[in-house]
């Protein structure tokens, strides 16, 4: 039995349990019927939101645009800072301590300030996405470069590599696994920051979810949660897993090599 089949059977079992619980609740009312939606009602809201009203399609498009911009910026800024901290003792002892301090501050805390600075525009939410992902990327790239085997560095110096060649041809390729972990974390933290930011901001899946809650439309609330979860699964299995395999093979770091 393949992994895909196992996963499909697992989620089908979860949906079956959900449906059984929903029907039992209709009969015995363990919970409020209004607050416990059914799988069928959730699917109906997904269909209406994408193909009839377009509410979910527009919200999803807005959220994807925001996370795409914020994630790319977080990876670029984080990788640059990580390389700087790994190669400069002065920067590591000064700027590095600031990065550690900022890493402990939830990015959503910055949203009120961002809303005032950017006048409530999309830049406010993109700003907290960047803050959410940058520090994880920075620390993972830093640790990846610092943990490069000394033997590789000595061999490169013996071959006549200068300082810049040592960084770009030896240290960065050797730190790729850590950088990929950093990118994964940057995505995860950025995605969470996006959802939290949209709850307080405007547009996107987060705001649509809050509006659905205010209208007591729990079918739509669960439908949006399903979309958020499916995006997480899609990014992990269809993007990060494939990129990881190709990059590791490209740099000769695959376990199969």
Handedness of CA 145, 147, 86, 162 (dihedral sign): negative
Question: Residues 148-169: what's their mean pLDDT?
Answer: 78
Question: Residues 60-74: what's their mean pLDDT?
Answer: 95
The yes-or-no verdict on residue 46 having pLDDT over 90 is yes
Domain 54-250 sits in CATH at 1.10.3720.10
In contact, 181 and 112? CB cutoff 8 Å: no
Percent residues over pLDDT 90 in the chain: 47
84 by Cβ neighbours in 10 Å (0-12 / 13-18 / 19+) ranks as: middle
Question: Residues 213-229: what's their mean pLDDT?
Answer: 91
3-state SS record for the chain: CCHHHHHHHHHHHHHHHHHHHHHHHHHHCCCCHHHCCCHHHHHHHHHHHHHHCCHHHHHHHHHHHHHHHHHHHHHHHHHHHHHHHHHCHHHHHHHHHHHHHHHCCCHHHHHHHHHHHCCCCHHHHHHHHHHHHHHHHHHHHHHHHHCCCHHHHHHHHHCCCCHHHHHHHHHHHHCHHHHHHHHHHHHHHHHHHHHHHHHHCCCHHHHHHHHHHHCCCHHHHHHHHHHHHHHHHHHHHHHHHHHHHHHHHHCCCCCCC
Question: Residues 52-80: what's their mean pLDDT?
Answer: 94
The yes-or-no verdict on residue 222 having pLDDT over 90 is yes
The yes-or-no verdict on residue 154 having pLDDT over 50 is yes
Mean model confidence pLDDT for the chain? 87
Percent residues over pLDDT 70 in the chain: 96
Question: Residues 228-234: what's their mean pLDDT?
Answer: 91
Residue of 174 and 66 predicted with greater confidence: 66
* Greatest C-alpha distance within the chain: 78
pLDDT-derived band at 1 (thresholds 50, 70, 90) equals low
- Cα gap 222→224, rounded to integer Å: 5
pLDDT-derived band at 257 (thresholds 50, 70, 90) equals very low
The yes-or-no verdict on residue 157 having pLDDT over 80 is no
153 by Cβ neighbours in 10 Å (0-12 / 13-18 / 19+) ranks as: middle
- Cα gap 59→72, rounded to integer Å: 20
Q: What is the pLDDT of residue 80?
A: 93
Question: Residues 239-254: what's their mean pLDDT?
Answer: 77
Q: What is the pLDDT of residue 121?
A: 80
Residue of 226 and 175 predicted with greater confidence: 226
Condensed to tens digits (0 to 9), the pLDDT of residues 189-199 reads: 999 999 988 88
Condensed to tens digits (0 to 9), the pLDDT of residues 99-124 reads: 999 988 888 888 888 888 887 788 98
């Amino acid at each position: 039995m393949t992994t895909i089949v196992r996963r499909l059977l697992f989620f089908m079992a979860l949906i079956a349990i959900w449906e059984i619980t929903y029907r039992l609740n209709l009969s015995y009312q363990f919970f409020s019927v209004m607050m416990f939606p059914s799988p069928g009602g959730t699917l109906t809201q997904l269909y209406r939101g994408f193909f009839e009203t377009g509410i979910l399609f527009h919200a999803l498009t807005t959220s994807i645009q925001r996370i795409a911009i914020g994630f790319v910026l977080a990876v670029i800024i984080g990788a640059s800072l990580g390389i700087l901290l790994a190669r400069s003792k002065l920067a590591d002892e000064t700027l590095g301590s600031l990065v550690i301090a900022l890493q402990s501050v939830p990015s959503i805390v910055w949203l009120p300030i961002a809303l005032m600075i950017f006048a409530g525009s999309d830049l406010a939410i993109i700003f907290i996405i960047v803050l959410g992902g940058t520090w994880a990327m920075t620390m993972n790239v830093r640790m990846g470069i610092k943990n490069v085997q000394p033997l590789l560095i000595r061999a490169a110096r013996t071959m006549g590599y200068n300082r810049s060649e040592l960084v770009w041809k030896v240290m960065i390729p050797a730190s790729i696994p850590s950088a990929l972990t950093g990118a994964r974390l940057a995505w995860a933290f950025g995605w969470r920051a996006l959802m939290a930011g949209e709850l307080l901001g405007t547009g996107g899946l987060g705001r649509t979810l809050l509006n659905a809650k205010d209208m007591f439309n729990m079918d739509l609330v669960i439908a949006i949660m399903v979309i958020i979860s499916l995006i997480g699964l899609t990014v992990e299995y269809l993007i990060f897993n494939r990129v990881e395999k190709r990059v590791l093979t490209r740099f000769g770091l695959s376990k199969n090599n």
